[in-house]
Structures are given as C-alpha cells and as structure tokens.
Amino acid sequence: MQLYNTLSAEERAQLIDEAGKERLTLSFYAYTNLSDPQKFRDDLFIAWNALDALGRIYVAKEGINAQMSIPAENFEAFRETLEVYDFMKGIRLNVAVEHDNHSFLKLTIKVRNKIVADGLNDETFDVTNKGIHLKAQEFNNMLEDPNTIVVDFRNHYESEVGHFEGAITPDVENFRESLPIINEQLQDFKEDKNLLMYCTGGIRCEKASAYFKHQGFKNVFQLEGGIIEYTRQIKEEKIESKFIGKNFVFDHRLGERITDDIISKCHQCGKPCDNHTNCANDACHLLFIQCDDCKAAMENTCSTECLEITHLPVEEQLRLRKGLKVGNKVFRKGKSDALTFKNSGDLSTETLAKAETKDIRQKIKIKKVLVGKVEHYYTKSKIGQFLIENKELSVGDKVLISGPTTGEQELTITELHVNRTTVETANIGDQITFEIPFRVRLSDKMYKIL
Ligand SMILES: [Zn+2]
Ligand SMILES: [Zn+2]
C-alpha cells in the first residue's frame, strides 16, 4: 500500500489544471484522545488519497489539525470519511471564501507530538474539557457585559492591525508565552468574571479554555471558529462588527479587512498603515508594517543595512547569507530596533485613519482574460516560454502571470518572439518567448489585463 506522495508539486498542478474541476479549500480541527495516531494517520491517507484530497495535516495523540483542498464533487464523500470517527461527528468544516485550485499540491499527513505547539504539559489536564462555544451574536452580547474580560490569544503582530474592542492583547510572539501571563494577570477574577477568548480559527482557544478551566476559572467562553467564522456570521446575519481593523492571515494576502478602520502605524514613519510585508533582503525577511511611501523609499526593506545588502551583486549576497540562520530572523516577526514605530504592549482600537476599500477586492476586480500558460523558464538568460491558448498577445499588452509559487506578477510586453522571429502579435497555438525579470513556473497562467 502506497502511503506517501509520488507526484511533484508541478506535476500535480498540471494534473489539477487538466482535470479542470473546481476544488474547495477548507480547514478543520478536533481535539480527542487517540491511542494510535500512526494508524489513524495511515487510515486517513488511504481514504483521502482515493478522493484526490490534498493538504497539510497534523495528527497527534490530542487530535487533528487540517488545511486541505478537496474536489468539490467529492465534498460529501470526504465528510463521510470524518463521520466514521465519533469525535468528528458533525464537525464544522471551514470552507474558504476565495477559490484557489492550487492551494495545496500534496497530501501530507504528519504525526506530531501536538497539533498546536503550545508548550503545555497536557498530561495534567483534559484537553477535551473545553470552554463554552459562542456564536458571533452571543460573543457580541458577552462583550457588552461589564463582568467580562476578553483576551486575544493570537500573537502581538496579529493583534496590532486588528482586534476586538477592549481586548487584552499580550505582547507575545507565540501562544506558549501567553498562557502563564494571562493566568497571572487574571489571578483574582477566577470565580466571578467571564473569561472570553478568541483567536484566528478557534484551535488555540480550544486548548487555552481547557487550560484555564483546569487553572480554576469558572466561566470560560470562546469564539467558535475564531475571527474567520465570526466574520462569516456577521456578514451573513448583518451583525455589527466589534472586531476593528484587519484580520491577519498566513496566506499571500497577509490580512483580510474586516472594518475600514486603520488602527496601526507604519513601523518606519509612523503614518497610519496596516499593511504587513516581509523585508526584501532574503537574509532578513523580517515581518513588519510598511506604508507605500516607505516601501518605495526603502525598496521594501526594513533598514538601511538591508537596503544596502539588496544592492550588492547576487553572488555577494549569497556569500553573506552562508551559514546564517535565517529561520530565527524570519520568526522574529517584527521585533527589530530599526523599527521606530513598532508598537509593543497594550493596543488600543483608536481609529487612526480609514482605509479606502480597494486592496483585496480591487485586485479581484481587475478585468483580465486568460491567454496562455508557462511552458519553460530559462533561468540563466531570464527568458520565459509560453503557449498561447486563447485570444492573441501583442507588444504593449499588460499581462498578469499567476501561480502558486510565483504569486501574481504584472509586466508589460516589450518584445515578442515566435520561433526566434521577432513579431508584433502572437496568435493561438504560437509558442512564444520573451525576457522576464522574475522566475515563472510550469503551468503558471498568463492573463492579458484589459
Ligand atoms: Zn511609512
Ligand atoms: Zn531587513
């Protein structure tokens, strides 16, 4: 029995495109007590592989945490594979609003010690003895109660751009650090206050609520499905949002606007801004908030030091990077002395500016038409080879190239070649080449922007 992937990501992307079927991206988690996580893992792999399910899944004694992509037509069959297990009967599957057929290109199920790295000694308490789940309206109601203490269980850089009114936002870089801090702060309120907690998708609170109940808190509540599900419910039921600002998410968007309030500042100039970015120096990659002006002036870097490094020849940059533990820096998540306006400690929900409702939605609204796909990229000469499958392409056209690794990149065509001949316009069936400053990958789509 084959229990592991055999296809590469590129081969998989091609298969998905050829199949031409719609896929759903979804996530779920469940806590339980498993006696044999390895067997559970293998059983899931066999069942899901047969359904062409893909994703990144963690399995542990304490349960399962899954982010997946499923062919839409197999959705019910997939649900049945979960219903087999008592602890997943009637489980809520969070289906992503935006469709992306390439959200996952492998089925990877890993057995881990934990499904969330929380640093807790779980032997001492029952992770399934969780707090009471609240829906969006119930959560709003409880926020109004003066007897309520609301705690944000996400990391500080996430709370910085958006959080619930009046929430305690611990200055931590990970979940592990926040639990003892909160326990200490709320020592005197265990008996009579409502402890209300929330996080991005609910999984961290689920464990935290069990932990705090074990610590002696009597009234423990959590936002069911986290901010993601809250957002869905307030939109559907037209409820007022008590979450102010942006919800930080870990995909290429780095944030989903919930209200148009901007409550954070550019870390470099202090101007109201809530756009996270990663430093363009690959040896740094620091996550921080940067406004468009600073982005232009600093060329998307976090400091003059990083700016200078990005101006060195690539070989020199590689030499400097050698032996450097970049991983540490990547996860510093915005902690750097170079950032003058980085906020730490308590955060307010004071609105510093209003966002123009453009960013994400406008991107989707760009009128474009599919013209072809990438066939090859010649790394040395920086030349891309494309196949025109629809319409035509001319010099002067603006195109968007999009793919799971490439992301979304725009450029204007300045010259076109078909069979080594320079042409003004290429037509369906033509195999074209042109110089392209960034790397593109097999099966990336090319759209003409209209
Ligand atoms: Zn700025
Ligand atoms: Zn940097």
List, in order of start, the domains of the chain with CATH numbers: 9-111 (3.30.70.100), 366-449 (2.40.30.10)
pLDDT digits (tens, 9 = 90+) for 181-232: 788 888 888 888 999 999 988 888 888 898 889 888 999 999 999 998 999 8
Q: Is 429 left (phi over 0), alpha (psi -120 to 50) or beta?
A: left
Q: What number is the average pLDDT over the span 21-40?
A: 91
In the set 199, 284, 291, 302, the catalytic residue is 199
Least confident of 218-222, 240-244, 295-299, 441-445: 441-445
- What ligand has the least distance to the C-alpha of 282? 2
Compute, in angstroms, the gap from residue 329 CA to the centroid of ligand 2: 9
Whose CA is closest to 290, among 334, 345, 328, 327? 334
Is 199 a catalytic site residue? yes
Helix (H, G, I), strand (E, B) or coil at 112: coil
From ligand 1's centre to the CA of 267, what distance in Å? 7
Residues 408, 390 contacting (CB under 8 angstroms): no
In this structure, which ligand is nearest to the CA of 286? 2
Number of the ligand closest to the Cα of 277? 2
Name the nearest CA neighbour of 111 among 44, 22, 24, 27. 44
Q: Which pLDDT band holds residue 75 (cuts at 50, 70, 90)?
A: very high
* Residue 361, pLDDT score: 40
Q: Extract the tokens encoding 223.
A: 């936002």
For the record, the structure tokens of 416 come out as: 């076109």
pLDDT at 348 over 80: no
Predicted local distance difference test score (pLDDT) of residue 189: 84
3-state SS class at 37: helix
pTM: 0.67
Main-chain phi, psi angles of 105, to 5 degrees: -120, 5
Q: What is the pLDDT of residues 141-191, one digit of tens each?
A: 999 999 999 999 888 889 999 999 989 887 776 667 777 878 888 888 888
- Distance between Cα 309 and ligand 1 center (Å): 20
CA of 336, nearest ligand number: 2
d(CA 266, CA 131): 37
Neighbours of ion ligand 1 (CB under 5 A): 266, 268-269, 271, 291, 294
Residue with tokens 């030499």: 319
With a cut of 50, say whether residue 312 has pLDDT above it.
yes
Tokens for 287, please give them. 């996550």
* Between 96 and 271, the higher pLDDT residue: 271
Q: How far is the CA of 304 from the centre of ligand 2 (A)?
A: 8
Span from the CA of 367 to the centroid of ligand 2 (angstroms): 34
Q: Which amino acid appears at position 184 of this protein?
A: E
User: What's the confidence (pLDDT) of residue 239?
Assistant: 94
Q: Strand, coil or helix: what is 127?
A: coil
Output the CA 314–ligand 1 centroid distance in Å.
27
- DSSP string over 312-340: S-HHHHHHHHTT--HHHHHTTTT--TT-T
